[in-house]
Amino acid sequence: MRLIHTGGTIGMVPSPQGLVPAMKLVEAAVGERARVTVLDPLVDSAAIGAADWNRLLDLIETADDPVIVTHGTDTMAYTGAALSQALAGRDAPVILCGAMAPLGTGGDAEANLDLALSAQPGPGVWLAFANRLIPAAGLVKHDSHGADSFRAVPQAPLSLPPARRFGAARIGILTLTPGIPAAMVAAALSELDGCVLRVFGAGTAPPDPALYRALSEAHQRGCALRAVSACEAGGLVPGAYAAGAALWGAGVQNGGLDTAEAAFVRLWLHHSKGA
In 3D, which of 145, 115, 119, 142 has the Cα closest to residue 131? Answer: 115
Q: How confident is the model at residue 256 (pLDDT cuts 50, 70, 90)?
A: very high
Q: What digits encode the pLDDT tens for the residues 130-148?
A: 999 999 999 999 999 999 9
| Tally of CB atoms within 10 A around 18 | 7
Q: What is the pTM of this model?
A: 0.96
User: Rounded distance, CA 259 to CA 14, Å?
Assistant: 33
Q: What digits encode the pLDDT tens for the residues 33-58?
A: 999 999 988 998 999 999 999 999 99
Averaged pLDDT score across all residues of the chain: 95
CB proximity list for 254: less than 8 A, separation 6 or greater: 203, 226, 227, 236, 238, 248
**Residue 173, helix vs strand vs coil:** strand
- Report residue 16: phi and psi, to 5°: -60, -25
| Tally of CB atoms within 10 A around 233 | 12
pLDDT at 275: 61
CB proximity list for 184: less than 8 A, separation 6 or greater: none
Q: To 5 degrees, how large is the angle CA 265–CA 261–CA 240?
A: 105
pLDDT at 255: 97
Q: Average pLDDT, stretch 170-189?
A: 98
pLDDT at 274 over 90: no
